[in-house]
Chains A and B, each alone.
Chain A
Amino acid sequence: MDKKIKFLCTVCLVAVAVIFLFAVDRGHLGSPYVKRILNLSAIYAIVSVSMNLVNGFTGLFSLGQSGFMAIGAFSVAVFTIPKASIKSIFYVEPMAPWLVEMRLPFVAAILIGGLIAAVLALLIGYPVLRLKSDYLAIATLGFSEIIRIVLTNMPTITNGAFGIKRIPPITSMFTVFGIAALCIGIMMLLINSSYGRAFKAIREDNVAAEAMGINLTLHKELAFSVSAFFSAIAGGLYASFLTTIDPKQFYFTLTYNFLLIVVLGGMGSVTGTVLASFVITYGLEWLRFFDSPLMIGNIPVPLFRPGLRMVIFSILLMLVVLFFRKGIMGTKEFSWDGIYFWFKDKKYRGLLKRKAGRKAGGSGA
């Protein structure tokens, strides 16, 4: 496909997306509910892509996302709540005085959260990243639990188990989507750089990659801490999206949601992950009707009651894992060429079939 046409297509797509966002943001299209779902999807997309960076591209099975998210979320919560409401939120134990004075703008707070997460990931990564798949998974999961427990036990900073309320919300969808686009864009640049190629080499074969002169520790650490950084950024957005957070929300089962998104989108595909995060977040909302009692005529259908939604969701997850292992995109990325050839391919495949029919041996393609 011509480069010009591709560029034109991209511009059109972005323009359509911006107009759509604008319409939803201003309330011309959809409802506040739709707006919430879209915002949540964008936040989930950041975490999922950051998880994919480690799990899908570098081949390290890490389950620590919810812990890093918690760091970002609490950083935003602690630094951005207005001074006036601190007293009423920290009513059990007062906030540490040095922290009360430290009121920061949202951007600074979210960046601090990201940096703390990245540094912690560097520190923990050094011993842990030498471990192999299962051990790494359980160690990172344990680490995220430790973060959560430590946050619960710091009442003068995080208000302990009571959590923090009245976090200033972000009202504009453009902020959320802008940050999401920026984060995912940076990660894509990283993946397409020489570092990214090294990540993929490590994923394919640890030993061979090392033999080719790739510094395993350096690259694993890089992937891990970049992932932690962006997870924390997403966590910060999540905090201002929910406006109320407490450590319980960052239980390690939260990570499973992102794992599902990564699996459905395709391990090793950024665009697939983004797509899947929208599909799954929307799908989870769509499944909500399973939770409310259903009446056919006057007879209530007995199966429909709270909880069914998640059962169906987890069955779907199992079906995806068992029978649809590559996810939507596998390791491919979205590209205009891909779409173009997908349409062209149909014709092409038909042609091949006819050819194969004529030559009994079949064609090599």
Chain B
Amino acid sequence: MSSGIFIQHLINGLSLGSLYALIAIGYTMVYGILLLINFAHGDVFMMAGYFMMVTMAGMGLPVYLSIPLVLLMTVLLGMLLERSAYKPLRDAPRMSIMISAIGASYLLENLAIYIFTGVPKGYPNIPFLTKVVQFGSVSFQLVTVVTPIITVFLLLALMFLVHRTKMGMAMRAVSKDYETARLMGIKINRVISTTFGIGSFLAAIGSILWGAKYPSIFPLVGVMPGLKCFIAAVFGGIGNIPGAVLGGLILGITEPMLIAFFPKMTGYRDAFAFALLIIMLIVKPTGLLGEKTTDKV
């Protein structure tokens, strides 16, 4: 394999990994606070894609108007989801909340099938992102380099939010001890809502970048990225934001590399992430950057 092709794969992997990271952050934040897998996160990502399609292709809005609109709609969707599917079960057993999450994911998928039919549709073209750039033997779309930059920027912004602002302090408090935080007068519901909002915001950005890269959208488009990003979050240590980015990058880089070096494994592409997850859970259940937790009796 020539170095040109290797670099090409590396850049693609880095870009895919950053995309995974953006979505994985949404999982990790919700897990950190509510201790539950937000099964519907992948579907929020999918809905963001459809919002983009509706605003750009359907309503004919220009890009600079439709992107903020999509971000806003997705954030509202995420918050609505939390309000309707998670909030009523705040004090219910964990299993009920997880089932509710699965139900919510199912509902969003069926809603998308109902409204937009199951037929894959083309994602609207964003010329800025899909422009092809040539560097010697390496060529890529602009989105490939833009994605890691955006991810790094958002990661820094998020770290600032979590460690330097009052809301971030509240988030950390809630994730440490939910009950005590409530007793200390932290408005739990507002913190959780904000967390979902931020997660959905990142999913929406991920969706726009994803759409530029893979310009096809269908109701189940969010399922596989959703699961893989959850795996990335677990891999990096769930509840840990840099961990999610690290996990996303590792998964995003190794997956295409595996296929590039072992073309015979192509059919096992989706199995790879799951195998990685099971191995990780066995070897180090808390993930790469996770802390060890002790059981409370």
B106 touches A135 (CB 8 A): no
Q: Tell me the minimal C-beta distance from B274 to chain A in angstroms.
A: 3
Tell yes or no: A284 within 8 A of B by CB.
Answer: no
Q: Is A310 an interface residue (CB 8 A)?
A: yes
Stretch of B111-119, B120-128, B246-254 that contacts chain A: B111-119
CB-CB under 8 A from B227, the residues of chain A are 138, 141-142, 145
Report yes or no: A143 in contact with B103, Cβ–Cβ below 8 A: no
Check if B85 sits within 8 Å of A61, measured CB to CB: no
A156 sits at the interface (CB 8 A): no
Q: Which residues of A contact B94 (CB under 8 A)?
A: 133-134
Q: Which residues of B contact A323 (CB under 8 A)?
A: 88
Q: Is A42 engaged at the interface, CB distance under 8 Å to the other chain?
A: no
Q: Within 8 Å of chain B (Cβ to Cβ): is A267?
A: yes
With contacts A131-B281, A134-B36, A263-B99 taken as known, whether A317 is within 8 angstroms of B271 at the C-beta atoms is no
- Find the B residue at minimum CB distance from A149: B271
Judged by a CB distance under 8 angstroms, whether A99 is at the interface is no
B281 to A137, Cβ gap below 8 A? no
Does B156 lie at the interface of the complex (its beta carbon under 8 Å from any beta carbon of A)? no
Please indicate the chain A residues that have their CB under 8 angstroms from the CB of B36 in the complex: 134
A151 and B120 CA atoms in complex are apart in Å by 26
CB distance from B112 to the nearest CB of A (A): 9
Question: Given A146-B271, A318-B107: A138 and B234 within 8 A (CB)?
Answer: yes
A212 within 8 A of B: no
The answer on a CB contact under 8 Å between B98 and A61 is yes
**Known contacts A131-B285, A256-B106; is-contact A321 B271 (Cβ 8 Å):** no
B7 in contact (CB, < 8 A): no
Q: Interface size for chain B: under 10, 10 to 19, 20 to 34, or 35 or more residues?
A: 35 or more
Interface flags for A318-344 (1: CB within 8 Å of B; 0: not) read: 100111010000000000000000000
User: Which of A256, A321, A323 is the most central at the interface, judged by chain B CB atoms within 10 Å of its CB?
Assistant: A321
Known contacts A61-B98, A128-B281; A321/B268 CB under 8 A = no
How many Å from the CB of B41 to the closest CB on chain A? 13
The residue in chain B whose Cβ has the minimal distance to the Cβ of A319 is B103
B177 at the interface (CB under 8 A from A): no
| Alpha-carbon distance A61/B106, docked complex (angstroms) | 18
Closest to B87 in A: A322
The 8 A CB mask of A247-260 against B (1 = contact, 0 = none) is 00000010010011
The reply to whether the CB of A307 lies closer than 8 angstroms to some CB of chain B is yes
Bound Cα distance from A135 to B290, whole angstroms:
14
Given known A-B contacts A127-B282, A152-B267, A307-B113, A133 and B98 have beta carbons under 8 A apart: yes
CA A328 – CA B104 in complex, angstroms?
21
Chain A interface helix/strand/loop/mixed:
helix
Contacts of A14 in B (CB 8 A): none
Nearest residue (CB) in B for A154 is: B267
Q: Report the Cα distance A305→B115, complex, angstroms.
A: 10
With A134-B36, A317-B103 given, is the CB distance from A150 to B271 under 8 Å?
yes
Query: For the complex, is A12 an interface residue (Cβ under 8 Å from B)?
Result: no
Quick check: is B157 within 8 A (CB to CB) of the other chain? no
Cα distance, A124 to B270, chains bound together (Å): 18
Cβ contacts B270-284/A at 8 Å (1 or 0 each): 110111011001100
Q: Does A348 contact B (CB under 8 A)?
A: no
Decide yes or no whether B95 CB sits under 8 A from chain A: yes
Question: Are A322 and B106 closer than 8 Å at their CB atoms?
Answer: no
Query: How far is it, in angstroms, between the C-alpha of A306 and the C-alpha of B114 when the chains are bound?
Result: 7
B216 at the interface (CB under 8 A from A): no
Contacts of A128 in B (CB 8 A): 278, 281-282
Given A128-B281, A153-B268: A311 and B274 interface contact (C-beta under 8 Å) = no
> In this assembly, does A313 line the interface, its C-beta being within 8 Å of a C-beta of chain B?
yes
For residue A107, CB closer than 8 A to chain B, the reply is no
Candidate in B106, B113, B230, B281 with the most chain A CB atoms within 10 angstroms = B106
* Known contacts A128-B278, A142-B277, A145-B270; A314 and B98 CB within 8 A of each other: no
B141 on the interface (CB 8 Å rule)?
Answer: no
Minimum Cβ distance to chain A for residue B290 (Å): 12
B37 in the interface, Cβ–Cβ < 8 Å? yes
Given known pairs A307-B117, A311-B114, the reply for A133 and B95 (CB within 8 Å) is yes
Contact of A153 among B84, B104, B110, B267 (CB under 8 A): B267
Cα separation A153 to B231 with both chains bound (whole Å): 22
> Is B37 touching A313 in the complex (CB atoms < 8 A)?
no
The list of the 8 closest CB pairs from A to B, nearest first, reads A142-B274, A307-B114, A314-B107, A310-B110, A149-B271, A153-B267, A127-B282, A314-B106
Known: A318-B100, A318-B103. 9 other contacts (CB 8 A): A124-B278, A127-B282, A133-B94, A142-B275, A143-B278, A145-B227, A267-B95, A314-B111, A322-B88
Q: Mind listing 24 A-B residue pairs with CB under 8 Å?
A: A55-B95, A124-B278, A128-B282, A138-B227, A139-B278, A142-B227, A142-B275, A142-B277, A145-B227, A150-B268, A152-B267, A253-B106, A253-B223, A256-B102, A263-B99, A306-B117, A310-B110, A310-B114, A311-B107, A311-B111, A318-B85, A318-B100, A321-B96, A321-B100
